A and B are shown apart, each in its own frame.
Chain A
Amino acid sequence: MATDQRTGDWYGTDEAVSRLRGQAFKSLCLGATLLALVSVFVLLLYVANDAFRPLSADIGWLLTFAASLLLPTLGATGYYYTRDARAGETAAIALGLPVVSLLLTGGVFITLEHIVTVYQWASIVVALAIAAAVVFAHGRVRTSADLERFIVLVAVPIAALVLIPDLILSLPMLPTEALALLGSVVVPVAVVVGWFVRRQRENDRDGAIAAGLTLVVAAAGLGLAPVVGLSPFVWMLLVVVTAVPVGLYVESVVRRGAGTAGLAFPVLVAGGVIVGVVVTEALGFAGPNSWLDWGFLTDPPSRTPEDAGFYPPLVGSVMMLLVIVVSAFPVGVGAAVYLEEYAPDRGWWGRLVDLIEVNIGNLAGVPSVVYGVLGLALFIRQGGLGSGTALVGGFTVSLLILPIVIISSQEAISAVPDSMREASYGMGATRWQTVRNVVLPEALPGIMTGNILAMGRAIGETAPLLIIGAPAVVRIAPDSFTSKFSAMPRQIYTWSSEIDAAFQHGVLAAGVMTLLVVLLLMNGAAIIIRNKYQRRD
């Protein structure tokens, strides 16, 4: 190149040649990037097509929905994109939040239906409330006994959790299930809502109103739910898990006054769906014969593709996630706190810590199938837990995602500015006080993001489940952590060995689509939390 330039005039044609090569190189790089993305997304479109089979619908059905749903949505998207980016953001969250919280409602429903009964949950809540009262009272009576308070803080809740729930469950008279739910789920949520609103608005009255409103609307379900064809139980869950976050978000957007136009978007979508349904019903257009429908989500697996469902694996995945949340997250965040806040970086102790960090990095690269073998040896053959149970599956996958949780939490913690720590230490705070009061609250959004992404990884893991003996087919949803379970990816693997095209291009596609939608929502939630948090800085 350099020799070329010496021969010609400085503005000669050489430049065109070099630019051509540069352009070609740039297009090649862009092409490679897009190739990877497009190939996978095209394949996923095929999967979506197989799962939903939109073309099996009447042409009239498709046209109706195109007019009632697709066009308005596209129009609104175009408007937000070109005119009002702020509202577009609101629109994305306003549509995504109800969907994510509905998903969460489903998770809570499954939990209360199969894993802990409402009564068990209520008794736990009562036990914790009693424990909190005792700890608080002790703090009031004995203000200076530090060690004693610490012991009380640990011992009382444990004692309460061991003793009180059984006592309550053995009571001869228990309130109805709906009342128990009202007391143990709705009331705590209402208190949290009231506290949250009070803090946001700096106004006691608004807090009380918000709490009261939550309570009243949820309690109204006792009478109103049958009218709309829901059980009071589902009504309350919908109010508490779906309506409350959505309501708080809408309220905050309205108060902020920016991007309110975005709130129209979910209304537009819901309206489009309703209009579409009403019109197609009236005109008698048949909808698509989707593999992925309500029946698929609520039925057990079957050898006949038309009857096959996904419900037991869904429950299994929820159970596994619960185990992971309880086991991997506290340990992972604790390890990250130690490594970032406590660990010395010199001396032989410092070298030991270096070793731990290198080890964590390497554990993140150990194949998941090896973790499966570890789980098998550790929990089943040594620990004596039953093979293929949700507990073992959860523990095994916990070990697998532990390095990811630690590394992402470490990043979040090290992003907390040192000036915050210095300010706290300078005030005479101890290390733990600094961690609890300053570092963790600041790092929380980052830690949450990392943990949700790690959960996404966990929910798709298959190989360890094969090794620890999760059964190929589970027809009845597991009802305890020690019964055999299947998870979504495990069931997908089972179906993949069916040769029937109805399985390969139907049931499997529906299962894969379900898994991907759950994952996409989780990752989307994580990314929204991350963006909100980054913007604040």
Chain B
Amino acid sequence: MSERSIDVDLTRSSSGQVVKERIYKWLLFACAALTVFVTVAIIYTLARDAITFFDLVPAAEFFTETEWFVRGDGGNFGVWPLVSATLIITVVSAMVAVPTGVAAAVYLSEYATDRMRSVLKPALEILAGIPTVVYGYLALVYLTPALQAIGIPVGTFNLLSASIMVGIMIIPMVSSLSEDAMSSVPDSLRQAGYGMGATKYEVSTGIVIPAAISGIFSSFILALSRAIGETMIVVMAAGLRPRMFNFSNPLNNLLSSGQPMTAGMVNAVTSDATGGSATYLSMFALGLTLFVITFAMNLASDFVAARYQEEYQ
């Protein structure tokens, strides 16, 4: 061993090393901070052009009127027809996805053998990886004619087949998030149930689902937010014709075409409207509305999910 120096130098390593470390740290921080910039940029750009839009179109018209039609650069911009179509899509797709997704989650988490799970989970992952343009194509070219073939009088473009497809699209989301919530229910709770003489069915429905309910709920919120923002399926299968909700014949709304908010945005940008016109700018107003709704739903889902994590961690 070499002779020990009494005054060891424990201070900084070479200044180059320190500077280098700092540079890397700040570079990496910049990468992370970029995501904040993205959020700010979304809000800023949407809000700025939405404000210009409201200079051209009175906010009262946008928020209260029930007619949306676009003719060249102008038209009438009452948002309710678009909102009603979005709501129809959301509700019907939830009716498809929520029961199916939760049932799939219960099966995967409580019943499936390891072998079954090793087949079903990747299959659901594949389902989640299919591009929405493909779902839109399936709805337009295969599902709608199939519905017509079994005697449901749907038009070529209709909200029903679009909603069903959106529902199928979000099933993997509901099932995988709900399954995560169910499998994080501690086994001791299940054991306690079995110890009381409960059957597997009673344990699943009476103990596991209630215990995981906030996680399941947060998966619903996320999936619905996904449905609200879904674009290609509705553009391709639901059509681009805005139609106000028909209260006298509610079922009829499903059979005919409609234009949800996302489709309205695509329509505004792919139409021949000139930049800066009310039609073009309506895209930003719709985008802002959509962003606020989905962002709020994501936050709500975080909040609900955080509650269940607190309970079991």
Contact = CB atoms under 8 A, between A and B. Distances in A.
Direct contact of A and B (CB under 8 A): yes
Interface stretch (A91-99, A233-241, A459-467): A459-467
Nearest to A367: B229
Contacts of A131: none
A460 B14 CA distance: 49
A353 B123 CA distance: 35
B100 interface: yes
A342 B25 contact: yes
A316 to B, nearest CB: 14
Contact of A374 (B42, B130, B236, B298): B42
A373 B171 contact: no
Contacts of B129: 453, 456-457, 460, 519, 523
Contacts of B99: 32
Contacts, number: 278
Contact of B107 (A5, A32, A335, A362): A32
B262 A146 contact: no
Contact of A18 (B13, B134, B201, B228): B201
Nearest to A20: B201
A425 interface: no
B27 interface: yes
A531 to B, nearest CB: 10
A359 B295 CA distance: 10
A461 B289 CA distance: 22
B168 interface: yes
Contacts of B126: 520, 523
Interface stretch (A108-116, A167-175, A179-187, A508-516): A508-516
A85 interface: no
Interface string A325-366: 000001110110111001100000000010110111111011
Interface in A1-42: 1, 5, 18-19, 21-22, 25-26, 28-33, 35-37, 39-40
A489 interface: yes
Interface in A22-79: 22, 25-26, 28-33, 35-37, 39-40, 43-44, 46-47
Nearest to A462: B133
Interface string B194-208: 000101111011000
B299 A362 contact: yes
Contact of B231 (A330, A382, A463): A463
B299 A29 contact: no
Interface in B27-41: 27-36, 38-39, 41
A361 B302 contact: yes
Given A365-B298, A492-B137, A33 B175 contact: yes
B190 interface: no
Interface stretch (B15-23, B63-71, B77-85, B147-155): B15-23
A30 B107 CA distance: 6
Contact of A368 (B168, B231, B298): B231
Interface in B215-270: 222, 225-226, 228-232, 235-236, 262, 265-266, 269-270
Contacts of A377: 41, 45-46, 49
B284 to A, nearest CB: 7
Given A335-B28, A378-B41, A33 B291 contact: no
Nearest to A371: B42
Nearest to A332: B31
Contact of B35 (A36, A145, A356, A365): A356
A5 B197 contact: yes
A507 to B, nearest CB: 11
B15 to A, nearest CB: 6
B143 interface: yes
A402 interface: yes
A504 B19 contact: no
A278 interface: no
Interface in A261-277: none
Size class of the A contact interface (CB-based, 8 Å): 35 or more
Contact of B291 (A145, A366, A469, A512): A366
A399 interface: yes
A331 B38 CA distance: 13
Majority secondary structure of chain A interface residues (helix, strand, loop or mixed): helix
B133 A460 contact: yes
B111 A527 contact: no
A426 to B, nearest CB: 16
A147 interface: yes
Given A339-B32, A496-B236, A369 B45 contact: no
B183 interface: no
Contact of B201 (A21, A32, A35): A21
A466 B201 contact: no
Max chain A CB contacts within 10 Å: which of B133, B141, B294?
A: B133
Contact of B127 (A40, A456, A493): A40
B106 interface: yes
B42 A26 contact: no
A370 B229 contact: yes
Interface in B109-136: 111, 120, 122-127, 129-134, 136
B32 A356 contact: yes
A417 B171 CA distance: 34
Given A21-B201, A25-B201, A147-B16, A460 B132 contact: yes
Q: Which of B125, B130, B204, B228 has the most CB of A within 10 A?
A: B130
B168 A39 contact: yes
Nearest to B14: A146
Interface in B128-184: 129-134, 136-138, 140-143, 168, 171-172, 175
Residue picked from A19, A32, A504, most chain B C-beta under 10 Å: A32
B91 interface: no
B56 interface: no
B32 A343 contact: yes
A107 B231 CA distance: 29
Contact of A493 (B42, B133, B291, B299): B133
Nearest to B222: A365
Nearest to B123: A37
Given A463-B231, A489-B131, A493-B236, A29 B16 contact: no
A81 interface: no
B40 to A, nearest CB: 10
A145 B16 contact: yes
Contacts of B49: 377
Contacts of A527: 122
A284 B97 CA distance: 51
Q: 8 tightest A-B contacts by CB?
A: A460-B131, A367-B229, A146-B16, A147-B16, A334-B31, A32-B103, A22-B201, A377-B45
Interface of B: 13-17, 19-21, 23-25, 27-36, 38-39, 41-42, 45-46, 49, 99-101, 103-104, 106-108, 111, 120, 122-127, 129-134, 136-138, 140-143, 168, 171-172, 175, 197, 199-202, 204-205, 222, 225-226, 228-232, 235-236, 262, 265-266, 269-270, 283-284, 287, 290-291, 294-295, 297-299, 301-302
Given A22-B200, A44-B138, A489-B131, 7 more contacts: A26-B201, A338-B28, A368-B231, A382-B45, A457-B129, A463-B132, A505-B141
16 contacts: A19-B199, A22-B199, A36-B101, A36-B172, A37-B127, A335-B35, A363-B35, A363-B39, A366-B42, A370-B287, A373-B284, A376-B269, A378-B45, A462-B131, A463-B231, A463-B232
